[in-house]
A and B are shown apart, each in its own frame.
Chain A
């Protein structure tokens, strides 16, 4: 009786969306183990805040926003924990990865994923990432050009 019905139990939705949440987390962290930690933290946060979700719009929109906020909080904590003099950018710097989409500079792959893959509008994606729409358009453009150039280099090497 006290068990939530399937439609109101956000845990089921979270599990169903896990591959996509994990993919978005990878664009933020650039590393699989950090991404899993981020997904776990964000999912817990979403479950605790599930009474905020009233079923309006796309659930992913809300979950991605929570994930981005959680990652920002985490970055802030790391920044405080780092000894003075160390560039915090290095803490979130892209880890070396064979995947071209994740090897792009910070912010580009997330912008690309949300617009070109997840199908959010530029405005929605900018809101999720907490940036201006024109900044998102610039990141999206840079990501497309970067991917095209990486693909061209790979093709040349193979030839």
Chain B
């Protein structure tokens, strides 16, 4: 982009126009505006530019929107899940009892009910006892939140993104497989514009979690970090998940061996595509 870099003075005055300068800076700038005619002229130019631009953009709102554009959005089909991620195996239990099985089940329930009734009837004092049922803890939310917090912390690192760099794939495979107990391959996602940067390991919910880190290498999103993460912890109900939490997008899928996640910025609209690709390669 052929844009000349504004001078430090121009940047300070521009920040002052936004009233974003800190307290100390503010006084400095005000003194400068009183004493320096060049700074005053620059400040006026910045404000004038802001006004001119605002008016021009306001005028653009008056232009009519093409009707076919409005119609195409109004009539667009509502979402249908196009990407099928691997699902956790479900028990193949089919309830089709035969007549004899039904009879035996009814008889068993009758005998069991009679036995419980007899037992309670013969021990009237026991009826006063209370039974406490504890609600199951929502532990899965905690470990997923841990994983997202880790992502948010490291995705901003420019020099310390990975613990083991991408140049040592054998080390990464041995280290993560040994510690997580999950064997895997490092997916090559160059086709999706993602370059492998290396790997990390941490714990979430008391279980080791492995993370393979990729960086976008093309387009304006250049630099965005996308992480493929896996652990032996299971989400509640072994369900796959696709949502945004704390400005971070997460797509999960579950296999008999592990739970896998693709994590990226909430603006990354292709996380499920990346997940579908990674699921076939990892």
Contact = CB atoms under 8 A, between A and B. Distances in A.
B218 A76 contact: yes
A112 B78 contact: no
Contacts of A131: 220
19 contacts: A18-B69, A26-B60, A36-B69, A40-B72, A45-B269, A47-B76, A47-B79, A52-B249, A66-B269, A72-B220, A76-B193, A101-B57, A116-B50, A117-B53, A130-B221, A144-B50, A144-B53, A145-B49, A150-B52
Contacts of B265: 65, 127
Contacts of B60: 19, 23, 26, 99, 101
Interface of A: 4, 9, 11, 14-15, 18-20, 22-23, 26, 36, 39-40, 43-45, 47-54, 62, 65-66, 68-73, 75-76, 79, 89, 99-101, 105-108, 112-113, 115-117, 122, 127-131, 137-151
A89 B220 CA distance: 12
B14 A141 contact: yes
Contacts of A113: 57
A54 B65 contact: no
Interface of B: 1-6, 10-11, 14-15, 17-18, 20, 42, 45-50, 52-54, 56-58, 60-61, 63, 65-66, 69-70, 72-74, 76-79, 82, 193, 218-224, 242-244, 249, 265-270
Contacts of B73: 11, 14-15, 18, 40, 43, 47
A105 to B, nearest CB: 5
Contacts of B77: 47
Nearest to B80: A48
B267 A70 contact: no
Given A49-B269, A69-B269, A75 B220 contact: yes
Contacts of A50: 78-79
